[in-house]
Structure 1
Amino acid sequence: MGPISGRIRPVRVVSVGKQATGLYRRYLFTSPARLNGQQASPITLRCAQIFEQSKTTAGPGPLDNKKVRVQGHVRFLRKQKRFAFAHISDGSSLQSIQVVLTPEQATNLTQGAAVEISGIWQPCPPGKQQSHELQATEINIVGEADPATYPIQKKFHTPDFLRQLPHLRLRTPFNSLLSRLRSEFIYQATQEFRSHHNRNFVQVQPPLVTSSDCEGAGEVFTLKPRDAVTEAGETVDFFRSPKYLTVSSQLHLEAYAAELGNVWTLSPTFRAEKSDTPRHLSEFYMLEVEMSYLDSLESLTGFVETLIRNMTQRVYNTPVAQELFGFRETDDPTKDTIHADLEKRWKALMEGPSWPRITYSKAIDHLQDAVAAGQAKFEFSPSWTGGLQLEHEKFLVDTIGKGFPVFVTDYPKAVKPFYMAPSNTPSSENKETVACFDLLLPEICEVVGGSLREHRLSPLIQNMRDHGLLKLRDPTPDSSLRVDAKVTYPHLLANEELGSTQWYADLRRWGTVPHGGFGLGFDRFIGYLAGVSSLRDLVPFPRHFGRADC
């Protein structure tokens, strides 16, 4: 075995004390110089690591008066006659490292520059705003920035202004915090699914290019290569038939679940809807789940409630969530753009009573009774065929949920997609309903939608027929191009064919089981817990009607 060098190697710390922190630290191999009580070279650490190791209740911290190197951007620079002060941020913490420099060291330093600064990490005297500061010994400007044109200044920038700079707004404290919060939710979601040992969830990666619009709303983006038109002026489909960006991974998840049992994914979805509101994006992430051998809507909603409660609890116990709660106590003007009492919002999800369930029929009755009693006025009059509007959902959360989430179940069959199974119990009006649900959260409303799936082939094909998804056969087809030219697919009429949805029907044709699933709007969910009202301020590079910058 060769001699031990003094090089730094990254190590992931699983826990500190009794609680896991999720932070990353670097540890040095012991070198001869360190054995002699001397520090051979600066320890390169992230800002969050430095602050974490400097939290001591008594006595000196492990980094006090040690050589430390930080790498990041100059968030703020103040030059004085005898000293200069630079605040260095690397995106790992809301708090920046204050560096004390001589005027000579700060000569070429500018706001926005990427730097690598080494120095002595020294405790500050009592009464100063910060507990420590870095006394610079070496300055290395890695990437220059012209302060006259650099758009991110120390002053407050409105969300509207920052939306024009999606590639740079990540350098602001709150936007970098949102990215770290999102990362933590992804990690904890994975841990939560792995914790359900009796269910054996498998994470899968469904395709983004699909053959059909599973929601049936027609709000899809069609894929075509740039050179789709030939010299003869004919349009050529790259995949030989029209393909689209997925609006949901559900149909493919059902194929996975047919063999693997219980599956989940977190992947982007795309909607070409022209809803120009803060709640809608054209590209967003969905956490989708499909579970086999499931025939109870109550079991499905119960799992959703457990999943959301547990994910919230898991992230609540992490440093990034505590940073979020403490953000309101900082002097950053951005704090006024987020919800005033975030911690209360989190605890309501984690610790509140069981979330109420109400059928769509009873929800409509409740809304109509409120109108008749003069307790509410709506722009859209509530009716069985009219569906639930945002104003209706907010009223239900306020009056039925008392500020807690509410499940609305058993919607009319006519307004839902073809793949949903019929309700186990008919509505009071004996109208056709399906075994589905929407979960409504306060303020943002719908955040989860799911259903039991129609697992019987004959009713599924009839549903597809009712929704106009079956194709009529060409009266003079080229039989050599059709494998099943001499075989009529079960339950189809003589002039019908399934087209691009045949593979989905095949899942019922050969060995299907009762199953169900749901999709959670991942961005909406994080936005609710982050206190950010507009998804355009939550997602770093938002795509919505009329805008797709960068």
Structure 2
Amino acid sequence: LRVREALRAPEPVEQVKVQGWVRSVRSQKEVLFLHINDGSSLESLQIIADPSLENRDLTFGSAVEVQGKLVKSPHKMQNMELKAETIRVVGPCDTLVCHCSRSPTDRTTLEMDFKMSKCAAKHAQTEVSLMFSLFQDNGYVHIHTPVITSNDCEGAGELFQIGVSNEAKESAEKTHFFNVPAFLTVSGQLHLEVMAGAFTHVFTFGPTFRAENSQSRRHLAEFYMVEAELSFTESLQDIMQVMEDLFKTVTSTVLSKCPHDVELFHKYVAPGKQRSLPRKMGLFFPSSCSISYSEAVEILKQASQAFTFKPEWGCDLQTEHEKYLVKHCGEVPVFVINYPYDLKPFYMRDNEDGPQHTVAAVDLLVPGVGELCGGSLREERLPFLESRLQRLGLADTYQWYLDLRKFGSVPHGGFGMGFERYLQYILGVDNIKDVIPFPRFSHSCLL
């Protein structure tokens, strides 16, 4: 029986077996109390046992198998408890190494870190499932875009280049393994654009990599992206609507289906932030702002707040700017559209405006995080795309991308959403490293 099933059992059960890890041990003269958890529930199951069943290996962190009777608990906080008849230690835990040097406060923190990590992992599974369902229910085709690529989609040069093992270095000196330099992908967008020429609506979910030497609370070297591409769309509003629907539907469903998990984070990690997450779907976007980049810069220039980075037209918005704009609009999601032409990658559609030249790009900013999604209309007009790639000296590198515009190209656009940043938002976590089991960032690649 899993812990979750034991806790939810409608009536006592004569004989059950529960397996899991010990979260606490408390021995009294006449009774032994254990709490065990197997990862199926945030709550642990209380075990009541005779002190004679205690042994030296029964410690915090040890893996156990408990057999006994499942009975109603007299405590209001728990529905059922297990009266143990046998306790077998499957795997002992060396508490001397584990936390003998930790104070009681440290041990409490360790327990809370365990609960938070488990909660974040469960949330990730729930939200991935919801996103897949939403896209597939709306006719999108899931594409497995490659992790290894020869292209830099973002054009920022923050790429991890792929090397070869020591055994292959001699042959690698003569030629590249792929005949061209290869990198870990920064985005699946360009590959999605290829597939959108056949399926019209496509999406992907997979790992992306950025060689940013950043120690910030919202950047990782490896993270997951949800990306979508839509053919036959000439309006940035269409892209924004898909972004809004994805954000709104998944968030409202998570809040209604997993309220206890969210409450755990908002109680221990981000007190007070639950107020910014209304539970009803209709409350997310009714008063949301949609402002141009130029309007955003003017709002920032008129702000009484002093910024570390001075807001200027033509400069990228920093995290402090994004959070201020969200606050200025009433702590609701904010769309910022029409960014400077020279600030964005080559594939974004030229608005042909002036004197301040912009492209049809959009970022979605959300409370507590800042930028969550980024998207744009893609430049489908061959002369415009050729001209820009030639100025950047990239025409040969992206000749295949130019060729796509010669054979049945249509107006299209898309966006990407950082999955860990979404978890940050919905759980109210300040540091993105706390929502992923094995965070990768500069100077840290454990395991």
Band the TM-score falls in, shorter-chain normalisation: over 0.9
**How far is the alpha carbon of 1:76 from its aligned partner?**
0.9
**How far is the alpha carbon of 1:170 from its aligned partner?**
10
Find the residue that maps to 1:148 and give its secondary structure. Answer: helix
Q: Distance in 2 between matches of 1:529 and 1:248?
A: 23
Encode CA deviations 1:184-237: one digit per residue, 9 max, x unaligned: 0011111212332xxx11111100000011111000000011137645993642
Q: TM-score, normalized by length of structure 1?
A: 0.76
Considering only CA atoms, is the larger Rg found in Structure 1 or Structure 2?
Answer: 1
Q: Distance in 2 between matches of 1:134 and 1:110?
A: 18
Residue in 2 that maps onto 1:175: 117
Residue in 2 that maps onto 1:133: 81
Aligned pairs for 1:39-438 within 5 A: 45-53=1-9, 61-62=10-11, 64-107=12-55, 108-125=57-74, 129-151=77-99, 155-157=104-106, 172-196=114-138, 200-227=139-166, 230-231=169-170, 234=173, 236-318=175-257, 321-327=258-264, 335-342=267-274, 344-347=276-279, 351-352=283-284, 353-368=286-301, 370-371=302-303, 375-399=304-328, 401-423=329-351, 426=353, 429-438=354-363
Q: Distance in 1 between matches of 2:118 and 2:61?
A: 15
| Unaligned ranges ≥5, structure 1 | 1-44, 54-60, 163-168, 330-334, 471-497
Q: Contact 1:361–1:384 (CA<8 Å) still a contact in 2?
A: yes
Alpha carbons of 1:50 and 1:294: their partners in 2 closer, same or farther (altered >3 Å)?
same
Alpha carbons of 1:244 and 1:522: their partners in 2 closer, same or farther (altered >3 Å)?
same
What code does the residue aligned with 2:382 have? L
| Unaligned ranges ≥5, structure 2 | none
Aligned pairs for 1:400-549 within 5 A: 401-423=329-351, 426=353, 429-470=354-395, 498-499=396-397, 501-549=398-446
Q: TM-score, normalized by length of structure 2?
A: 0.93
Q: Contact 2:368–2:428 (CA<8 Å) still a contact in 1?
A: no
Alpha carbons of 1:232 and 1:418: their partners in 2 closer, same or farther (altered >3 Å)?
closer
What code does the residue aligned with 1:121 have? L
What code does the residue aligned with 2:128 have? I
Find the residue that maps to 1:397 and give its secondary structure. Answer: helix
Q: Contact 1:523–1:539 (CA<8 Å) still a contact in 2?
A: yes
Q: Contact 1:91–1:171 (CA<8 Å) still a contact in 2?
A: no
What is the root-mean-square deviation in Å for CA atoms of aligned residues?
2.4
Encode CA deviations 1:454-511: one digit per residue, 9 max, x unaligned: 11222112121222313xxxxxxxxxxxxxxxxxxxxxxxxxxx13x23222221211
Alpha carbons of 1:171 and 1:339: their partners in 2 closer, same or farther (altered >3 Å)?
closer
Alpha carbons of 1:430 and 1:342: their partners in 2 closer, same or farther (altered >3 Å)?
same
Q: Distance in 2 between matches of 1:131 and 1:291?
A: 49
Q: Contact 2:140–2:201 (CA<8 Å) still a contact in 1?
A: yes
Q: Distance in 1 between matches of 2:280 and 2:374?
A: 21
Encode CA deviations 1:119-140: one digit per residue, 9 max, x unaligned: 1111123x56533210012323
Q: Contact 1:94–1:177 (CA<8 Å) still a contact in 2?
A: yes
Percent of pairs identical after alignment? Answer: 38
Q: How many aligned positions are there?
A: 444
**How far is the alpha carbon of 1:253 from its aligned partner?**
0.6
Find the residue that maps to 1:411 and give its secondary structure. Answer: strand
- Structure (1 or 2) with the greater helix fraction: 2
Find the residue that maps to 1:362 and give its secondary structure. Answer: helix
Q: Distance in 2 between matches of 1:140 and 1:350?
A: 51
**How far is the alpha carbon of 1:328 from its aligned partner?**
6.4
Q: Distance in 2 between matches of 1:444 and 1:301?
A: 18
**How far is the alpha carbon of 1:147 from its aligned partner?**
2.2
**How far is the alpha carbon of 1:156 from its aligned partner?**
4.3
